[in-house]
Amino acid sequence: MKKILLGLLILSFASCCRQTDNSQPQQLIYGADVSDAFYTDRLPLIDSAFQRFVDHGYMPHAVTMVVHKGRVVNLSAHGWRDMENHIPCQTDDIFRIASQSKAISVIALMTLFEEGLFQLDEPIKKYIPEFSNPQVLVSYDSKTSKYTTRPAVRDITIRHLITHTSGICYDGIFDKILKEKGVAGHNTLDTITLAQDVSRMALVPLKHDPGEDFTYSYNIDVLGRLAEILSGQDFYTFIKQRVLDPCDMHDTYFHVPAEKQDRVVKLYSYKKAATDSEASTLPHGTAYQGNARGGLALSDNQLFQTFPYAGAGTFCSPSAGLCGTIEDYAKFCQMVLNGGTFNNHRIIGRKTLEMMQKNGVGHMRGEIGFGMAWDVFTPENAHNTIVSEGSMRWGGMFGSDYIIDPKEQLIVLMYVNNMPNLSGYNPKTLMHNVTYQALR
């Protein structure tokens, strides 16, 4: 009996030891020497570039962060959390990260895949019966809003949803139909649940047959509902237990608590195009272009401005609803770079992540691929970017962006909340360029 107990203890200890890979950084490391990987005299170009963009009025604020092998290389804040009240932006400010929510949501979902609770090529109707009879749009009358459909040639599978090839669409006339059906969209201040929203979404016709094209849309909201059904939890509780808490991401929320709401940055946009005489009254040195000539102003989109802290608080959008700090997301990215471990927790399996990093859409997006949560930088796209082949990237519609680069063991993050960006410049590409130029 003692031998059996001893054996069980040894097996238990061995199992615990396999939970994390100690060769990978399990925390972010501050103040470390990074001169082995970067020309330290070139790193200040990150800060000078973004400060210049703020000074010239291209963006209201920005927080930048670079991590190499767990070591924090750059963490800086520029501009204003609140321009009107001259409150400076801080590195722990909370931003609307929009579609960066998707990667967190999908990785949480894939932990259920690892438990054998679903398979990727199963039809979603098996779990959400409202999708039992998918229809494809044939015609639409813009005057009457009436449309005709035909049955889809195949069912929507979980794989179709996770690769955005289901045919669910939110552009153009599909946006009108979604609104007619009462679908909340990216976010809402109204009293609605994810279950209600997805049920309404199932009534909307598809843009094309499942599997036939890449159409970026609300697919991850459907998968979020799948996670609720399989886990028996509301979606925030689910991702909190599966990803946020194990990764020590304690500043990431769908609904920011009252004690942290003062750290939410204001959302800005550009005023409509100004005349030459109006533009001449702007501060000396500004160089607004095109529709940006009117300068920055608080966004008047009350939904996008206030959803982090206002409204009923009953809806969680797995596609686009999260808000958080740049350091929280860096922890998530380091977990991915580590092959699924962080903070001495195994969040997801290494092989599952490897599968998620493979291009799953062929040439549907042209030269750039798409995995199960992010862009995949393919060899065909290498000539377009300074970023390494095999890197993962995605961003949010409010301006945030991330790169996870396994080749360089590098994480690059840039946060801004400015929508739409009419400056004529791409701050995401700017961040890539000024970071990679400093690598040894």
Does residue 249 lie within any of the structural domains?
Answer: no
What pLDDT, on a 0 to 100 scale, did the predictor assign at position 418? 96
Distances in Å between the Cα of 90 and the Cα atoms of 29, 49, 101, 143, 150 are 19, 17, 21, 49, 52
What pLDDT, on a 0 to 100 scale, did the predictor assign at position 251? 98
What pLDDT, on a 0 to 100 scale, did the predictor assign at position 295? 83
Domain end position, chosen among 193, 215, 244: 244
What pLDDT, on a 0 to 100 scale, did the predictor assign at position 425? 84
Does residue 259 lie within any of the structural domains?
Answer: no
Does residue 260 lie within any of the structural domains?
Answer: no
d(CA 303, CA 1): 64
The answer on 398 and 280 residing in a single domain is yes
What pLDDT, on a 0 to 100 scale, did the predictor assign at position 270? 85
d(CA 48, CA 54): 10
The answer on 133 and 112 residing in a single domain is yes
Q: Assign 3-state DSSP to the chain and report helix, strand, coil percentages, each to 5.
A: 35, 15, 50
Q: Can you say whether the dihedral through the CA atoms of 159, 160, 165, 170 is positive or negative?
A: negative
What pLDDT, on a 0 to 100 scale, did the predictor assign at position 14? 37
Does residue 123 lie within any of the structural domains?
Answer: yes
Does residue 144 lie within any of the structural domains?
Answer: yes
The answer on 271 and 239 residing in a single domain is no
The answer on 420 and 277 residing in a single domain is yes
Domain end position, chosen among 199, 215, 244: 244
The answer on 230 and 336 residing in a single domain is no
**What are the per-10-residue average pLDDT scores of the chain (440 residues)?**
42 42 88 98 98 94 98 98 97 98 98 98 98 98 95 98 98 95 92 97 98 98 98 98 98 98 96 54 41 75 97 96 98 98 98 97 95 95 94 97 98 96 88 98
116 torsion bin: left (phi>0), alpha (psi -120 to 50), beta (else): left
What pLDDT, on a 0 to 100 scale, did the predictor assign at position 398? 97
φ/ψ (deg, to 5) at 228: -60, -45
What pLDDT, on a 0 to 100 scale, did the predictor assign at position 186? 84
Q: Please compute, for residue 306, the number of CA atoms within 13 A of its CA located in the half-sphere on the CB side.
A: 11
d(CA 226, CA 112): 10
Does residue 318 lie within any of the structural domains?
Answer: no
pTM of the model: 0.91
The answer on 224 and 79 residing in a single domain is no
Does residue 9 lie within any of the structural domains?
Answer: no
The answer on 369 and 342 residing in a single domain is yes
The answer on 128 and 197 residing in a single domain is yes
What pLDDT, on a 0 to 100 scale, did the predictor assign at position 272? 61
10-45 residue pLDDT tens: 344 333 433 555 689 999 999 999 999 999 999 999
The answer on 233 and 284 residing in a single domain is no
Residue 355 sits in a domain whose CATH number is 3.40.710.10
Total domains in the chain come to: 2
The answer on 270 and 399 residing in a single domain is yes
The answer on 149 and 68 residing in a single domain is no
Give the domain extent around 185.
106-244
The answer on 413 and 288 residing in a single domain is yes
Does residue 15 lie within any of the structural domains?
Answer: no
